[in-house]
Amino acid sequence: GEDVEQSLFLSVREGDSSVINCTYTDSSSTYLYWYKQEPGAGLQLLTYIFSNMDMKQDQRLTVLLNKKDKHLSLRIADTQTGDSAIYFCAADGNYQLIWGAGTKLIIKP
């Protein structure tokens, strides 16, 4: 079946860039999403990219899409303590979003 995979943890120093990676299997996915979840809260949509785009930038966030390799990445520039959260990658499937397991971003001072 369709699948989305992410590494479970990423540790970066405050002020550095964070790069969170995601791979997906469904080549027909049209939209690919990044969501952020802070402790005890629901998920917040961060950004999304349409499958005919290679890159999308929104302030400190840059999304790169390699459709050939089915690889998606989220780069957070100048990572701050407030960026500490779990980041979920999702790809649209037939009737629902297919979710990754989430990457926990840990910020070191």
Partner 1 sequence: EADIYQTPRYLVIGTGKKITLECSQTMGHDKMYWYQQDPGMELHLIHYSYGVNSTEKGDLSSESTVSRIRTEHFPLTLESARPSHTSQYLCASSTCSIRGPLHFGNGTRLTVT
Q: Which residues bind partner 1 (CB under 8 A)?
A: 30-31, 33, 35, 40-45, 48, 86, 88, 90, 92, 95-97, 99-102, 104
In terms of CB distance, is 15 or 45 closer to partner 1?
A: 45
In terms of CB distance, is 67 or 104 closer to partner 1?
A: 104
CB of 38 to partner 1, least distance (A): 10
Output the CA torsion sign for 70, 62, 52, 45.
Answer: positive
CB of 90 to partner 1, least distance (A): 7
Q: What separation in angstroms does the CA of 7 have from each of 36, 44, 58?
A: 15, 20, 23
In terms of CB distance, is 78 or 101 closer to partner 1?
A: 101
Q: How far apart are CA 47 and CA 53, in angstroms?
A: 13
Of 101, 103, 100, whose CA–CA distance to 4 is shortest? Answer: 100
CB of 42 to partner 1, least distance (A): 4
User: What is the H or E stretch that residue 34 is in?
Assistant: strand 31-37
- The DSSP letter of residue 62 is E
In terms of CB distance, is 17 or 53 closer to partner 1?
A: 53
CB of 14 to partner 1, least distance (A): 21
